[in-house]
Amino acid sequence: MKIGYSFWGFLGAGITDSPDGGRSHRRPFIDAIQAAGHQVVFLQPDRDLVEAGDHIAAPYRFDSGLPDLDVLFTEWRWPIPGRNTTACGAQGHTCDLHRQAELLDHYTDGFGLPTIIWDKDRQLPLSDPLRSHRDVVVCEAAMTPSAGARSLLFPLDDALLDAADPVALAAQARPFPLSYIGNQYDRDEAFHRFFAPAAARLPHWVAGKWRDTRQWPHVTFVGRVPFREVSRMYGESLATVLLLPDRYAAVGQMTQRIFEAVLAGCLPLAPATIAHAARFVPDELIVKDGAEVVTAVHRLWSIAGTTEHADLIAACLAKLEVFRLSRQMQTLQAILAELAPLRPQTIGARR
């Protein structure tokens, strides 16, 4: 199939001052789609080139028009006041939302083209008519997706998972007992309950965009860091806490942070408030509050570099199997097979 793929982000490392969790998994996912025999054309601007100055070579193609397609696939964008809700050309405006609306109007509503919406941020309202549209399949990166939606988790490249060596990872020097990499967005409650109390008792750092930190003067915030630094920073950290917005935690939607951390040997502590927490980490890494974070980190510190430490990393790597790219591709291929009969039979039917 020829798949029109709409995303607002980067294929490469991109720029530091821009949130985009897809950097850790988008390119392997696209490569796997094309390796399966599909043709992918990107329908949003090439931000790697325009903003980061990176020329991502073929086999990637961008198209600012409305090319003939078999399927529209969009990483869902939502209104962000002052950014994509302003007029085109206004200062600070990004046109991701306008472009997405154009694509949905042209392909989904105009021609009844099969459409996959990947609601990666859980921003598509349950009442949105797209959820009941006959030509639309909604996917969510959750263990328990919304009614009618399909589970499509953030994919982890098989090669990276297979290459991870728990013994070598356990042997690395880890001068920082506790760390967190990620932005503040809707994480205040989880941060206040699980990370902040532990930060008062343990050496630590927090990287990411945190605009309002006044209630945590004892926490060391280091600001945003380049994407290429993420693996190195996790590689120097013994443990992290998997902080999720409530709307993620309630349905077991784990972000890419878990495999970024584990692949670097940084052990993830999962708040017990996360649905399906035991599917993401071993039971001994599930914590109920900040005090248990401290206790867990002290225990991990006591076994650092030992066989027990390596075994625990291996157990965390085994938990990542649920994210394996080849497994997520099976889900996508099944959806594409279901959508195939819905395609307009001729190009003329789309005009």
Overall average pLDDT of the 203-227 stretch: 95
First to last CA, the chain: 19
Give the separation between CA 309 and CA 170, rounded to whole angstroms.
Answer: 6
Overall average pLDDT of the 117-132 stretch: 97
Q: What predicted TM-score, i.e. pTM, was given to this entire model?
A: 0.94
Overall average pLDDT of the 91-101 stretch: 92
Overall average pLDDT of the 203-230 stretch: 95
- HEC states along 234-257? HHCEEEEECCCCHHHHCCCCCCCH
Overall average pLDDT of the 228-249 stretch: 96
pLDDT class of 83 with cuts at 50, 70, 90: confident
Residue 67, burial from CB neighbour count under 10 angstroms (0-12, 13-18, 19+):
exposed
Question: Residue 157 to residues 7, 141, 292, 326: CA-CA distances in angstroms?
Answer: 19, 16, 32, 8
pLDDT class of 348 with cuts at 50, 70, 90: very low
Residue 124 backbone phi and psi in degrees, to 5: -85, 115
Q: pLDDT: is 92 or 19 the higher one?
A: 92
The tokens of 31 are what? Answer: 């490569």
pLDDT for position 345: 60
pLDDT for position 4: 98
pLDDT class of 346 with cuts at 50, 70, 90: very low
Question: What element of type H or E holds 74?
Answer: strand 71-75
Q: pLDDT tens, 166-198? A: 999 999 999 999 999 999 999 999 999 999 999
Residue 311, burial from CB neighbour count under 10 angstroms (0-12, 13-18, 19+):
middle
Whether 111 has a pLDDT exceeding 60, the answer reads yes
CA 116 to chain centre: 17
Overall average pLDDT of the 193-206 stretch: 97
Under 8 Å between Cβ of 240 and 234: yes
Under 8 Å between Cβ of 209 and 182: no
Count of Cβ atoms closer than 10 Å to residue 188 Cβ: 17
pLDDT for position 347: 44
Q: Provide the mean pLDDT of the chain.
A: 94
For the chain, give the percent of residues with pLDDT over 70. Answer: 98
Whether 266 has a pLDDT exceeding 70, the answer reads yes
Overall average pLDDT of the 330-348 stretch: 81
Give the separation between CA 283 and CA 271, rounded to whole angstroms.
Answer: 11
Whether 58 has a pLDDT exceeding 80, the answer reads no
Overall average pLDDT of the 287-294 stretch: 98
From the list 142, 338, 177, 332, the residue with the least C-alpha distance to 255 is 142
**87-101, 104-118, 164-178, 281-295, range with the lowest pLDDT:** 87-101
Under 8 Å between Cβ of 118 and 152: yes
Q: pLDDT: is 340 or 349 the higher one?
A: 340
